[in-house]
Chains A and B, each alone.
Chain A
Amino acid sequence: MSIEIKDLYHTYQVGTPYETHALQKINLDIAEGEFIGLIGHTGSGKSTLVQHLNGLLKPSQGQITIDGVDISQKGIKLKEIRKKVGLVFQYPEHQLFEETVLKDVSFGPQNLGLSVSEIDKRVRNALEVVNLDYLEIKDQSPFNISGGQKRRVAIAGVLAMEPKYLVLDEPTAGLDPRGRDEILAQIKELHRRLKITIILVSHSMDDVAKMADRLIVMHDGEVELNGTPREVFQKSEILKAIGLGVPTVSALLYSLKAKGFEVRTDLLNMEEAKEEIIKVLRMRRGKNA
């Protein structure tokens, strides 16, 4: 099963002088179990696109099919779609509203009309996944915990819906390096252990390079590049032209190569870069000897 997007267009404020084409001719397939990094400049259409995936926005034109169901047709039960596709917005902690963490995380599953025992099970699981101690945190006010904890509670609220597909819009924005690493590790875990399909919207090339199987790069409402991180980061010219740049490691390897230091340029982390640089250094020494 999968998400299929066919010829999707979205226009804001149609028929007014402010008419904006936020999305144009988007065609994408996202298979179950994939880990997708969705990147693009502010205003490139990323957020508009992800809001289509659970029916928050309706296409102006085109079709979105989730597990075989066309969600843009009339009379579709959006509740069913939202059970499948969980959406974590930017700064999701702004949406916390209940008196206690327990109530907040339970809110979604309660609306699904599940039994009390099932809700309880899901809330415990969701809090465990985001690495929060159920007993310690459940009765606390979600407004009285640290920023990183708030964010994790908000994510747990979406996880408690047990979505098959999880879209996270800039989940690490505004967090410190420790908070960022924790959230990213948990997302990786969700993908690996629970086999949830992940669509991670990010500005950080370094983060997506480390995590995603496939990258979708958006620009001006269209899909500009679509491929594995290695493939995408080879197109440094295009990435630079649309104001995105490449991960630090790629930028370094390109600079080295330009200086005649014959390294591969399709490496994704500093560990790989180190191996490659040492290999080249050894070869050079061999030649000189």
Chain B
Amino acid sequence: MIEIRNLTHKYRMGNNKELTAVNNLSLKIAKGEFVAVLGHNGSGKSTLAKHLNALLLPTEGKVIVNGLDTSDAKELWQIRQQVGMVFQNPDNQLIATTVEEDVAFGPENLGILPEKIRQRVDEALNIVGMADFKTRAPHLLSGGQKQRVAIAGIIAMRPQYLVLDEPTAMLDPSGREEVIFTIRKLNKEEGLTIVHITHFMEEAVYADRVVVMEAGEIVLEGKPREVFSQVSVLKKLHLDVPAITELAYLLNKEIPGFPRDIMTIEEMVVALCP
């Protein structure tokens, strides 16, 4: 479990000022959970994410990963091995000249035996569906493929938690689908705990739990259905509502009793054509 207790993070700005990016935030992420974190730019999502594997340390409060305190420098390697992170821009994350070398980079640094590394690399590439590309040059792949290689590089380190900071923001629709499919698979089949930071509400629909941030605090939290049915609150926060939920909301205004918590086309069809 990852436990965030009263976390505050302040950035020091140039002119002796401070910026509070995360403000007294508490959150627990259970093993095996799929949590989506929403919020617009500057709401503190990325700052929060970087605390989960000690890339940032709390100004106040604590972050505890499987009982290990991220502020304890001795535990750093342990924590980073358990919590892997994938960032927005795939081009900034790939370093080697072939896909398999790139995926091997993490396990090599963990000092794992070469034959074991081979096994882990193959396994990781299989999971993300990139095994056929293992001898290819990363820079010639599509955005979605690059991002899947970046994910493989993380899972080859066998983490328990995968934190993804807007992994689809720079991808086209098919790349986005590939990555989302991979993330869901990692959660369902490999049992990885997922923390997925995104702007795209359609992607958050698959989560077990949605956390909405604003000004460094959690303003909404719950099952996707509960959170998305709060159309007016989300709009006030300048967030999108899934288009179908918005329609349900509009219909509900005209037809009292029409369900407001519809999230997908299939559900809408069922509601209208019982």
Question: B247 contacts the other chain (Cβ, under 8 Å)?
Answer: yes
A-chain residues with CB within 8 Å of residue B247 when the two chains form the complex: 249, 252, 270, 273-274, 277
Chosen A-B contacts, 23 in total, with CB atoms closer than 8 Å, are: A42-B143, A42-B172, A42-B175, A148-B41, A173-B169, A174-B88, A174-B169, A175-B41, A176-B41, A176-B199, A176-B238, A177-B240, A181-B238, A244-B173, A248-B244, A252-B244, A255-B269, A271-B250, A274-B247, A274-B250, A277-B251, A278-B251, A281-B255
A-chain residues with CB within 8 Å of residue B246 when the two chains form the complex: 270
The 10 closest A-B pairs by CB, nearest first: A178-B238, A248-B243, A259-B273, A176-B40, A274-B250, A177-B240, A42-B172, A176-B41, A270-B247, A176-B199
Question: Are B265 and A252 in contact, CB atoms less than 8 angstroms apart?
Answer: yes
Question: B189 contacts the other chain (Cβ, under 8 Å)?
Answer: no
Question: B205 contacts the other chain (Cβ, under 8 Å)?
Answer: no
Question: Are A177 and B265 in contact, CB atoms less than 8 angstroms apart?
Answer: no
Give the docked Cα–Cα distance between A245 and B202 (Å).
Answer: 15
- Contact digits for A249-289, partner B, Cβ 8 Å, 1 yes 0 no: 10110011001110000000011011001100100000000
Partner of A146, one of B41, B174, B199: B41
Q: Using a Cβ–Cβ cut-off of 8 Å, how many residues does chain B contribute to the interface with A?
A: 30
Question: B96 contacts the other chain (Cβ, under 8 Å)?
Answer: no
Other A-B contacts than A174-B170, A206-B243, A245-B173, 8 sampled, CB-CB below 8 A, are A42-B175, A146-B42, A176-B238, A177-B199, A251-B265, A255-B269, A259-B269, A274-B247
Question: B268 contacts the other chain (Cβ, under 8 Å)?
Answer: yes
Give the docked Cα–Cα distance between A274 and B88 (Å).
Answer: 36
Within 130-169 of A, Cβ neighbours of B (below 8 Å) are at 146-148
Question: B142 contacts the other chain (Cβ, under 8 Å)?
Answer: yes
| Contacts known (A174-B169, A248-B243); A278 close to B255, Cβ less than 8 A | yes
Question: B239 contacts the other chain (Cβ, under 8 Å)?
Answer: yes
Question: Are A177 and B239 in contact, CB atoms less than 8 angstroms apart?
Answer: yes
Residues of B within 8 A of A (CB): 40-42, 88, 142-143, 169-170, 172-175, 199, 238-240, 243-244, 246-247, 250-251, 254-255, 265-266, 268-269, 272-273
A-chain residues with CB within 8 Å of residue B40 when the two chains form the complex: 176-179
Question: Are A274 and B174 in contact, CB atoms less than 8 angstroms apart?
Answer: no
Question: Closest A-chain residue to B39, C-beta based?
Answer: A176
Question: A203 contacts the other chain (Cβ, under 8 Å)?
Answer: yes
B-chain residues with CB within 8 Å of residue A146 when the two chains form the complex: 41-42
A-chain residues with CB within 8 Å of residue B88 when the two chains form the complex: 174
A-chain residues with CB within 8 Å of residue B250 when the two chains form the complex: 270-271, 274
Question: A243 contacts the other chain (Cβ, under 8 Å)?
Answer: yes
Question: A188 contacts the other chain (Cβ, under 8 Å)?
Answer: no
Give the docked Cα–Cα distance between A273 and B250 (Å).
Answer: 10
Give the docked Cα–Cα distance between A173 and B254 (Å).
Answer: 35
B-chain residues with CB within 8 Å of residue A206 when the two chains form the complex: 243
Overall SS of chain A's interface:
helix
A-chain residues with CB within 8 Å of residue B143 when the two chains form the complex: 42
Distance in Å: Cβ of A141 to nearest Cβ of chain B: 11
Question: Are B273 and A260 in contact, CB atoms less than 8 angstroms apart?
Answer: yes
Give the docked Cα–Cα distance between A49 and B260 (Å).
Answer: 44
Distance in Å: Cβ of A54 to nearest Cβ of chain B: 24
Question: Closest A-chain residue to B175, C-beta based?
Answer: A42
A-chain residues with CB within 8 Å of residue B175 when the two chains form the complex: 42
Distance in Å: Cβ of A113 to nearest Cβ of chain B: 37
Give the docked Cα–Cα distance between A251 and B170 (Å).
Answer: 24
Question: Are A42 and B240 in contact, CB atoms less than 8 angstroms apart?
Answer: no
Give the docked Cα–Cα distance between A203 and B42 (Å).
Answer: 25
Partner of A277, one of B172, B199, B265, B272: B272
Partner of A274, one of B172, B251, B265: B251
Question: Closest A-chain residue to B88, C-beta based?
Answer: A174
Distance in Å: Cβ of B273 to nearest Cβ of chain A: 4
B-chain residues with CB within 8 Å of residue A270 when the two chains form the complex: 243, 246-247, 250
Give the docked Cα–Cα distance between A261 and B152 (Å).
Answer: 45
A-chain residues with CB within 8 Å of residue B243 when the two chains form the complex: 206, 248-249, 270
Question: Closest A-chain residue to B43, C-beta based?
Answer: A176
B-chain residues with CB within 8 Å of residue A274 when the two chains form the complex: 247, 250-251, 254
Question: A25 contacts the other chain (Cβ, under 8 Å)?
Answer: no
Give the docked Cα–Cα distance between A271 and B254 (Å).
Answer: 12
Question: Are A147 and B41 in contact, CB atoms less than 8 angstroms apart?
Answer: yes
Question: Are B170 and A173 in contact, CB atoms less than 8 angstroms apart?
Answer: yes
Question: A41 contacts the other chain (Cβ, under 8 Å)?
Answer: yes
Give the docked Cα–Cα distance between A181 and B41 (Å).
Answer: 13
B-chain residues with CB within 8 Å of residue A179 when the two chains form the complex: 40-41
Distance in Å: Cβ of A259 to nearest Cβ of chain B: 4
Question: Are A42 and B41 in contact, CB atoms less than 8 angstroms apart?
Answer: no
Give the docked Cα–Cα distance between A43 and B142 (Å).
Answer: 9
B-chain residues with CB within 8 Å of residue A256 when the two chains form the complex: 268-269, 272-273
A-chain residues with CB within 8 Å of residue B272 when the two chains form the complex: 256, 259, 261, 277, 281
Question: Are A41 and B172 in contact, CB atoms less than 8 angstroms apart?
Answer: yes
Question: Are B238 and A177 in contact, CB atoms less than 8 angstroms apart?
Answer: yes
Give the docked Cα–Cα distance between A221 and B251 (Å).
Answer: 42
